[in-house]
A and B are shown apart, each in its own frame.
Chain A
Amino acid sequence: MLVLPLIVVFVFSFGERGPAGGYAPAFSFDNFLNLGARWAAFKNTMVLAPIGTLACLLIAYPLAYFLAVRASPKWQTMLLILVIVPFWTSILIRSYAWIFLLGGKGLPSLIAAMGLGHIQLINTPFAVLVGIVYGYLPLMVFPIYVSLERLDKRLLEAASDLGAPPMNTFLTVTLPLSMPGVATGCMLVFILLMGEFLIPAMLGGGKVFFVGNALVDLFVQSRNWAFGSAVAVALVLVMLITVTAYMRFTRRWAGGRDDISLM
């Protein structure tokens, strides 16, 4: 059941577009040779997905650190719930809220009122990044939170007993030990971002085009299912390569330690 749809996509990718769209059986590599026609979409995704992942990480780490280390137990539960609550509503609804916030009557009018000039936020790559960080933050916060939570507090005491300043303790003890969480969070967010289409479509005003958007257009607009399948196969290959490289990198970086779990 898991691989069946993938097999269909794989077979379709060698076919051709029917005269009125859809799929017609054939065997050719034309669809793959034509992949250059979607290069811009791949490029946009390969730029914005890592930036989005990094932005998520930069905001999620301090938040997770605060939750796991600083917050009192009473507040901890409360704040954790606050992080999860947005997940209870569909991302579609939440994106609409951002359309209003970033639209002309939202934040830009506030900025204009403060005398900082007119700026456009909605329908820009910036708006898409805001949506991405907002939508994927919990996926980054939780793995980091868990790894910080499990961290043996006696190690921190030992460090300070031996005279290490707090910053050193953080850099040499806390940060390295929370790396499994960071690696998992980044992986989760990055993989999902590569296939994202809703946030760019809604907050990018149709002007920020991910591979996901190219796929939606190919399947439901121009109905070139064969080429769409080839793009999907290419996306899977790109992900496989990136993820393998990423795992190699994190493993080497961790010096072959096996307690760094990725998935």
Chain B
Amino acid sequence: MTDRNDFISREKFMQELMRYKKGSVSRRHFLGVTGLGLATSVLGATLGRQAMAQTNIGDRVVLASWPNYHDPADFDSFKALTGAAVDLNVFGSNEEMLAKLQAGGTGWDVFVPTNYTISTYVELGLIEPLDMSLIPNYDPASFDPRFAGPGTVDGKIYAVSKDWGTTGMATNTANNGGKALTSWKEFWDMTQAEFSGRTTVHDYQLTTIGNALKYFGYSFNSIDPKELADAEKLLLAVKPHLFAITSDYQPAMRNGDAWLAMCWTGDGKQLNRDMPEIEYTLGKEGGEIWSDFYAVPVGAPHREAAYALINYLLDPAINMKETLFHGQPVADARVNAMLTPERLADPILYPAADLLSALEFGAAQTLTNPDRAELMARFKSA
């Protein structure tokens, strides 16, 4: 918990108050430095909790989510509060989640889909429009529309924002004269040269093909046959030089087997926190930006508990604990107001504007495109 706000002196508080009054600092900054934001949201949360405890929501809620994505302590306090134990199922890809929901009978109450899947879920009638009266902690005005927007389909809110992040690369700089790679061109070229046998790419067509497309400067979401053919040629040439095709790359990066990994923000943050020589960077050509959501599948067996859990996790005080744990930024301004300026200036979590603007959100058809799926199969079996 090193990211917590330090107490500030009375003089400093008055200074900040004056600055705020004069309008030279934002409300967010003021609440952040003084700790008032934290105080108010804790108060608010306590009131909310009392209200929550009055209804009986059952003893269980099933959550399908990603690895290293929730602070177990928050689930413990949810159980203490409501009596419902959180049963966590961990998944490796959006496709896997979609396949499970398409096959039916998942027993999930809440799950964590990524932005580009939501319209597909709605189309297939697999998720329900959320009853926002049951999620009072969701304040649409506090959420950055860039990240929360994809949760709304045809004017109805189907999913609420959990957090967001990017897909970049993690370099063990000790193996590269202290320098991190900064472009996808370098990523793929180095893999075939000095880093041969030391690179991992995701076992996930969306990002692996997307970032191979960036080598040529094509769109991350391209489904153009000629552009995909170029990406395939690159991937097949790179394959013998790869250490692994895996989405579980933290162990190999930590024990030194891998020096370079295609990497998501949270993993990059966790690796960098424990081993500062591993740096997380974005490709300057662009790449992926994404946001994750909470959604409720149609026919959730513990529907009441599902809403209670979402509401609980969106409580700014809890959401702050979550973001400190999983290392992804959140889109909720109320949470950001509680974080230290150092954290908000962390280039891993909040990349520079010019790097960020080059990134693309994954598109629904990027995920479901059969040509990309077949390309990935040829790459893996080659």
Asked whether any CB of chain A lies closer than 8 Å to the CB of B47, the reply is no
Task: Give the nearest-CB partner of B92 in chain A.
Answer: A220
Q: Which residues of B contact A221 (CB under 8 A)?
A: 93, 95-96, 99, 205, 373, 376
Q: Which residues of A contact B98 (CB under 8 A)?
A: 20-21, 223
Query: Which of A22, A99, A209, A224 interacts with B373 by CB under 8 Å?
Result: A224
A223–B243 CB distance below 8 A: no
- Name the distance in Å between A95's Cβ and chain B's nearest Cβ: 13
- Name the distance in Å between B102's Cβ and chain A's nearest Cβ: 5
A214–B381 CB distance below 8 A: yes
A223–B244 CB distance below 8 A: no
A205–B245 CB distance below 8 A: yes
Whole-angstrom distance between the alpha carbons of A151 and B374 in the complex? Answer: 53
- Name the distance in Å between B231's Cβ and chain A's nearest Cβ: 16
Asked whether any CB of chain A lies closer than 8 Å to the CB of B283, the reply is no
Q: Which residues of A contact B203 (CB under 8 A)?
A: 206
Query: By the criterion of a CB under 8 Å from any partner CB, how many residues of chain B are at the interface?
Result: 36
Interface SS majority for chain B: helix
Interface size on A, as a range, is 20 to 34
Whole-angstrom distance between the alpha carbons of A20 and B98 in the complex? Answer: 9
In residues 204-263 of chain A, which contact B (Cβ within 8 Å)? 205-207, 209, 213-214, 217-224
Asked whether any CB of chain A lies closer than 8 Å to the CB of B256, the reply is yes
Task: Give the nearest-CB partner of B103 in chain A.
Answer: A22
With A20-B120, A21-B102, A209-B381 known as contacts, the answer to whether A222 contacts B256 (CB < 8 A) is no
Task: Give the nearest-CB partner of A211 in chain B.
Answer: B381
With A20-B124, A205-B243, A206-B246 known as contacts, the answer to whether A44 contacts B370 (CB < 8 A) is no
B242–A222 CB distance below 8 A: no
Task: Give the nearest-CB partner of A104 in chain B.
Answer: B257
Task: Give the nearest-CB partner of B257 in chain A.
Answer: A104
Contact with B along A89-100 (1 / 0, CB 8 A): 000000000010
- For A104, A213, A222, the residue with the greatest tally of chain B CB atoms inside 10 Å of its CB is A222
Whole-angstrom distance between the alpha carbons of A221 and B373 in the complex? Answer: 8
B244–A217 CB distance below 8 A: no
Q: Which residues of A contact B382 (CB under 8 A)?
A: 40
Q: Which residues of A contact B96 (CB under 8 A)?
A: 220-221
Query: Which of A217, A219, A223 interacts with B380 by CB under 8 Å?
Result: A217
Whole-angstrom distance between the alpha carbons of A219 and B96 in the complex? Answer: 8
B381–A44 CB distance below 8 A: yes
Interface positions of A (Cβ within 8 A of B): 17, 19-22, 37-38, 40-41, 44, 99, 103-105, 120, 122-123, 205-207, 209, 213-214, 217-224
Query: Could you list 21 examples of A-B contacts with CB < 8 Å?
Result: A20-B120, A20-B368, A21-B99, A21-B102, A21-B368, A22-B102, A103-B252, A206-B203, A206-B244, A206-B246, A207-B380, A213-B380, A214-B381, A217-B377, A220-B100, A222-B205, A222-B373, A222-B374, A222-B377, A223-B95, A223-B99
Interface positions of B (Cβ within 8 A of A): 93, 95-96, 98-100, 102-103, 120, 123-124, 197, 200, 203, 205, 239, 242-246, 251-252, 255-257, 368, 370, 373-374, 376-378, 380-382
The 5 closest A-B pairs by CB, nearest first: A222-B373, A205-B244, A206-B245, A40-B381, A209-B381
